[in-house]
Structure 1
Amino acid sequence: MNRLVRAVLGLFAAPRVNMREDYEKVRRLQRQLAALPGPRVPFRETTVDDGTHPIPVRVFNPIERSRDDVLLFFHGGGWVTGNIESYTPACATMAELTGCVVVSVDYCLAPEHPFPAGLEDCLHIARLLLDEPGRVGVDDPSRIVLVGDSAGGNLAAVVSQQLHAEGHATPGRQILLYPVTHWDHDPRTSPFASVRDHGKDYRLTTHEVQDYLEMYVPDPQARKDPRIAPLMADDFSGQPDTLLITAELDLLCDEGEAYGRALEEAGNTVSLHRVDGALHGFITLPRFSRSLRQAYEVINAFLDEDAPTNSADTPDSAHTPDPGGTP
């Protein structure tokens, strides 16, 4: 990359904030930005009670539904920021550009609710929809596709691993967008060159990732747990067909691709795609963004492939998307 391009991209570097002190300000700013006028698609809000607390869910219906798949989406934000409100523009775009119903989960955030609270919320919704796919208008659980970006990609990967470990039915496919898969983002000790090459100049910094991890998992020794760092798992078998998309100028690029290779080596079907010139978080950019358009070309091609057969028994069900109601 030449110096001019690097300088221009440097203008998009993450603000130098202390996330441990300023995460509430970041949350407020995200909500304000999400409220700006922009393309909208119909959505409906509901809640799912897991026996301890209600989990808000927002269901986006594309104006023209062209695919039967339902995308179960876990948002990014370092397990600390982001919610269904701030990700509404991105989910509206996802519904429109894929022609799929999108179900966005408002899982608990750290530091108020550290690990494993957010993960348990995501697991609960995934189990529910896989057991009762009629809640979201499909009769085949293999039509449920896990999708997540950044920390949400981490949660999607961990949910798939946990479901397999439990012997539970797994989704037919998963789409992991620049996921967090490792626990070490210190440029002095990380095994990944992208941490050293892109950890201080652009959209996401090593300091920011470290702040997020410290709030999500206060105990440093616990961060090597595969439920936090899925690349540390002993068993990568039995995972859904996977599309793993990384961003070239993202410090998480190498660890995301390493996770894809680990899945592939374990016998899973994996498609890896790196978006050239892209920064972390590009799935939230406006529709005219080149990075966003390229990613959705790849996502749609992946969704157009034949859905894998899920061996789980599938109950008869109605076709009105309603994760909070009765099938």
Structure 2
Amino acid sequence: DPRFNNETLALLQFFAQNPLPQDIEVETLRLYAEDIHQKINKKLHETFKGTIEEKTVKTNSTEIPITIYTPLNVNKDKLVIYFHGGGWVVCSPKTTQTIVNYTADVTKTIWISVEYRLGPEYKYPIWLDDALDVTQHIIQNRTAYGVNETAKIGVAGDSAGGMISASLSHLLKGIDFQILIYAALDILGETPSYKEFANPMYFLTPELMKWYSTHAFHNLDDVKDPRASVLLNRTF
């Protein structure tokens, strides 16, 4: 397919030839994801020269861990809150630490990575509520996180984290911008492009998407909620 870079195509073909079992256990996939990302992240993670601080944000129901990346010569006029991908079931801030600390470094901006709770232990809307509570807290207490009172606050995320970011942009006031990285904006999978690339759909197959949604959501009504399938909102 000429739309693919050759290196990208080789990687996608590797995943297609080595598919994950459809009945894979949650914990097995979590360990696999953490292991593969650790190998990818290790080299670049060690090049970050700013400060990395672990904190928790207390909500009505729990305490949510966050990781704050503050680069050298930081710009105090912006702050980005990041939500990792992983189908709302796997991965963590550790799996995306390379992209977060690298982007914080090159933009000279504080990035905060959020460890929201995951399904199937905590199904929708719990993980979205975690993200909402943390984001609202940071917006209201931005100076405590190293930026100015008038600093712009943005949300960002990849895949499932992109969906969370897009949803928060609809739900919360005070978000100034969003950065969506291949965001999952239609969990129903009924768009023309979804059907066009269903066969072959490299790596993230319809079967794997169903596995994720089964573990992350209670039922089809959850998936039809515009807070989850954000493209169902009348305005975007």
Q: Report the TM range for the smaller structure's normalisation.
A: 0.7 to 0.9
Is the 1:34–1:88 contact (alpha carbons within 8 Å) kept by the matching residues of 2? no
- Is 2:30 the partner of 1:21? no
Aligned residues of 2:79 and 2:151 also touching (Cα < 8 A): no
1:62 CA displacement: 1.7
Alignment of 1:52-91 (within 5 A): 52-66=61-75, 68-91=77-100
- Trace 1:1-327 onto structure 2 (pairs within 5 A): 1=1, 8=10, 9-13=12-16, 15-18=18-21, 21-36=24-39, 37-39=42-44, 40=46, 41=48, 42-66=51-75, 68-140=77-149, 143-163=152-172, 169-185=173-189, 190-197=190-197, 200-234=200-234, 236=235, 263=236
Distance 2:17 2:37 in 1: 18
Moved over 6 A (4+): none
In structure 2, relative to structure 1, the CA distance for the partners of 1:19 and 1:75 (3 Å cut) is: farther
The one-letter code of the counterpart of 1:125 is V
Letter in 2 for 1:132: N
The residue identity in structure 2 corresponding to 1:178 is: Y
Contact 2:119 2:215 in 1 (8 A): yes
Report which stretch shifted further, 132-141 or 82-91.
132-141
Query: Are the equivalent residues in 2 in contact too, given 1:71–1:145 (CA < 8 A)?
Result: yes
State the SS of the aligned residue for 1:11: helix
Cα offset, 1:7, TM superposition: 6.7
Give how far 1:66 is off. 4.7
Give unpaired runs (5+ residues) of structure 1.
164-168, 237-262, 264-327
Mapped partners of 1:123, 1:4: distance in 2: 36
Deviation track 1:241-269 (CA, whole Å, cap 9, x = no partner) reads xxxxxxxxxxxxxxxxxxxxxx3xxxxxx
Query: Is the Cα contact below 8 Å between 2:54 and 2:66 reproduced in 1?
Result: yes
- Going from structure 1 to structure 2, the CA distance change for 1:7 and 1:51 (only over 3 Å counts) comes to closer
For 2:174 and 2:22, locate their aligned partners in 1 and report how far apart those are by CA, in whole Å: 34
Per the TM alignment, residue 183 of structure 1 is displaced from its structure 2 partner at its CA by: 2.7
- TM-aligned CA deviation for residue 208 of structure 1: 1.2
Q: Deviations over 1:139-179 (max 9, x none)?
A: 3455111111110010011111111xxxxx32111111111
Contact in 2 for aligned 1:75/1:87 (Cα 8 Å): yes
TM-score, structure 2 normalization: 0.85
Structure 2 gap ranges (5+)? none
Displacement of 1:198 = 5.2
TM-score normalised by L of structure 1: 0.63
